[in-house]
Structure 1
Amino acid sequence: MSTTSNRIATHKLGPLGAEPELSEMGQMVQQTVHRYAEEVMRPIGVKLDRMTPEEAIAPGSPYWEARRKFVELGFGVDGIFELEPAERAKTMCILFEELGWGDAGLAVSFGAGLLPAMLATLFGNAFCRALAPDAKLGCWAITEPDHGSDMLDASGAIFHAQGTYGRPNCVATLRGDEVIVNGQKSAWVSNGIIADVCILYCAADSGAGADTKRGAVIIVPMDAKGVSRGKPLDKIGQRALNQGEIFFENVTLSKEHILAGPDQYLDAVYAIHAFANAIMAAVFTGTARAAYELAHAYAHERKQGGLPIIRHQAVASRLFHMFRKVEASRALAHRIVHYNFTAPQPSLHAAMTAKITATQSAFEVANDALQIFCGNGLTREYPIEKIWRDARASLIEDGCNEVLAIKGGYSLIDPDLL
């Protein structure tokens, strides 16, 4: 411990804050991915942010360099599942926090890219896993133009008693040895325009009409006949993350492409939602940390009243609460990912707790960081305005936080107490 001239005790924490000393494996992951995030993701993320959506996904785009170098790091699904559950959880948290520290949009792109392989592995389906090797970029298509966060509430737990769901936008017809997909998925499919393979969640028709509660999960090669795509979405935040519509016109596949049929559909929604929400918590812990670190450094450099602004009480207090939120987000993310990877049954409402906490904290921390940068924070000369925009998008991703909170709240109901 060192002491400053005015007797304020200081103590420097590690790269992941007040985290117990990492294992040798954990240190390797943190150092390797942090280097990649700093040297590759950050500069490329800035470039992509200033390109049109079409330019960002073109063959010569720097996105593909970032993607190639991520794959070369070797954090594929098979390697992750070779780890013991507790070590797998810690590795995933470190990996995605560092990716989120580098660039939130790219982190979400790479995370979504793993979902077809991840779920095929979790369900033990070798055929579907072979369709989604680690080198192929995946996407997750679940939300629809008329049914956004509704699709994440397949059980109808929070559906209003007077509401009517309406006609599904995408339906898989299960007929003999085939599945035929027709319809569309919304413009919010992450990697939708550039993915090689899709994990599709949609209503299913087994002969009695389309049913959104007994849907199907299908692994769809994106070069299958009848698959087409819209234009890439133009957004204010996470511009490095490609998103866009997918259209299905009589896409006919063998039944082996079905990862989960109507009887397993609700469990499959639960599984991917629990996994995605927990990983989102790790990503946006990293985003919050990035904003805090930038503001912390700037507060030591910028002077007002003849002193570095960190000497002013309002700035010091603001930084402390930013630090507090980053630490709380990390602790919750690690705790819940560990629980969900080691428990017999993962907890969806716990995962939603982590996602909401981390994303809300990321936006609040980024907002406070921008305030510390003051006028400079509004300019593109400084990186904080981009992080602020990226963090704002997280409050809507993987289900808007308001809907997740209602669904999570209903999950707390204990029938034995009613």
Structure 2
Amino acid sequence: MTATSAMFKLGPLGAEPEFSETRQLIQQTVHRYAREVLRPVGIKLDRMTPEEVIAPGSPYWAARQKFLELGFTVDSLLELEPAERAKTMCILFEELGWGDAGLAVTLGAGLLAALLSVSFGNTFCRSVASDEKLGCWAITEPDHGSDALDPSGAIFNPQGTYGRPNCVATIRGDEVIINGQKSAWVSNGTVADVCILYCAADSGSGVDTKRGAVIIVPMDAKGITRGKPLDKVGQRALNQGEIFFENVTLSKEHILAGPDQYLDAVYAVHAFANAVMGAVFTGTARAAYELAHAYAHERKQGGLPIIRHQSVAARLFHMFRKVEAARALTQRVVHYNFTAAVPSLHAAMTAKVTATQTALEVASDALQIFGGNGLTREYPIEKIWRDARASLVEDGCNEILAIKGGYALVDQDLL
């Protein structure tokens, strides 16, 4: 067979060098879980109310338990040497995103409290945020959305002010006292066991949003209440909801990063979260492409499978190249950030923005290939399109990331 006589089939993750035996096993294991558990469960949860999604006996809890049984713990991932960890994380989250975007995000957010505790070398916080406990990341507030990811104020208009924070941690002696509210967009907010809370801090000289605190909060602490789960157009399997703090008093041991470390802590979690989003939504884009590719071979118009029509073949080609580009960029960024002395936040932003935009474009093109069928719930593509649309807003809306990332490109030596 010559290269011109037939199409060579690429590997499970596209134009990749052949996997090592270990990577192949990881990919096959997670893909099986994504195919047999995440995708069918995600479709069921999509058609349930937000209250039903998180109720006892919901398929959500069984899916989460099966993920824990796969053994991808924070410690096991961090034990890998950095380059291998980068590759493993990309494989893991791309396959999860291929299965279901919302469930992939809930699993990723669930790890953040444990991951940051280990990264900061805090054994006490790590004991609070154990692997079996579902975590949530609380940073956005009712009056402060994506700007909460910019405590340095790089994106602010000169005439703008941050305004009063909605949540403040008061640090006094050996205690930290939390009052206020986090927004309805806290992933896993109404069901989490532990929270990694990013908020403004008052350590004796007034509230300072640029010198906040990161606190590992057990969600059964006295004074915590939760809002109702959010009803959304997409990623309906991802529980999100408000958290309220009323004189929640914890020992100072729960502080993962104090005011002097706050900017670094925001940078660290944002760089990691954006990179993971790149992998997740590369997987979502790939799922849309693969469904459209298969449908184009099955569906006939004019007596031929529609892939024989030039416009369909050309559309599929552009979908394929976008998925390949998103994967390559994400893997490059994650490898760099896991191996460099200091990770690059604006590089992570490129992965997030590129992959999420790709997911929306590819899902939209896939829906067009499905035609009228794509608009019905009988086919999964309309759900993937809705899930992808939500990704342009979460973890920092793409417009804000572009502004912040653009300012990061300023070279002071050239000014």
Cα displacement string for residues 261-301 of structure 1 (whole angstroms, at most 9, x for unaligned residues): 00000000000000000000000000000000000000000
Write the distance in 1 (CA, Å) between the matches of 2:378 and 2:172: 57
Aligned equivalent of 1:279, options 269, 276, 281: 276
The match for 2:166 among 166, 169, 179 is 169
1:181 aligns with 2:212: no
Return the letter of the residue paired with 1:304.
Answer: Q
Is 2:37 the counterpart of 1:43?
A: no
CA contact (8 A) 1:2 1:11 kept: no
In the alignment, structure 1 segments of 5+ residues that lack a partner are none
Deviations 1:172-196 (A, max 9, x none): 0010100000000000000000000
CA distance in 2, matches of 1:8, 1:165: 62
Over the matched positions of the two proteins, sequence identity in percent amounts to 83
The residue aligned with 1:97 is 94
Report the Cα distance in structure 2 between the residues aligned to 1:345 and 1:25, rounded to whole angstroms. Answer: 28
Q: Secondary structure at the match of 1:154?
A: coil
Q: Which runs of 4+ in 1 moved over 2 A?
A: none
Matches of 1:183 and 1:359, distance apart in 2: 32
Q: TM (normalized to structure 2)?
A: 0.99
Match of 1:402 among 381, 399, 402: 399
1:317 matched to 2:314? The reply is yes
Q: Secondary structure at the match of 1:399?
A: coil
1:144 to 141, 145, 148: 141
Q: CA deviation at 1:372?
A: 0.2
- Offset of residue 169 of structure 1: 0.2
For residues 304 and 8 of structure 1, do their structure 2 counterparts lie closer, same or farther at Cα, with a shift above 3 Å needed? farther
Counterpart of 1:208?
205
Contact 1:173–1:180 (CA under 8 A) maintained in structure 2 = yes
Which residue number in structure 2 is paired with residue 34 of structure 1?
31
Determine the C-alpha separation between the residues in 2 that align with 1:174 and 1:319.
56
Please name the residue that 1:301 is paired with. 298
What amino acid is the match of 1:244?
Answer: G
Matched, 1:416 2:413: yes
CA–CA separation in structure 2 for the residues paired with 1:86 and 1:175: 42
- 2:111 pairs with 108, 114, 137, which one? 114
What's the CA shift string for 1:210-249, capped at 9, x where partnerless?
1110000000000000011000000010000000000000
Q: How far apart are 1:33 and its partner, in Å?
A: 0.2
Which of these residues, 233, 237, 240, is aligned with residue 237 of structure 2? 240
CA deviations 1:118-165 (Å, max 9, x no partner) are 000110000000101111000000000000011000110111100011
Q: Which residue of 2 aligns with 1:361?
A: 358
Distance in 1 between the 2:162 and 2:131 partners?
36
Give the letter for the 1:136 counterpart: K
What is the match of residue 350 of structure 1?
Answer: 347
Q: Secondary structure at the match of 1:202?
A: strand
Q: Does 1:249 align with 2:246?
A: yes
Per-residue deviation, 1:11: 1.1
- CA RMSD in angstroms comes to 0.8
AA at the equivalent of 1:320: F
Q: What secondary structure is seen at the aligned counterpart in 2 of 1:180?
A: strand
State the distance in 1 between where 2:129 and 2:22 align: 26
TM-score, structure 1 normalization = 0.98
Amino acid at match of 2:21: E
Supply the distance in 1 between the matched residues of 2:5 and 2:285 (Cα, whole angstroms): 26
Query: Which residue number corresponds to residue 389 of structure 1?
Result: 386
The secondary structure found in structure 1 opposite 2:399 is: helix
The answer on 1:57 being equivalent to 2:54 is yes
Cα offset for 1:9? 3.5
Q: 1:193, 1:230 within 8 Å by CA — same for their partners in 2?
A: yes
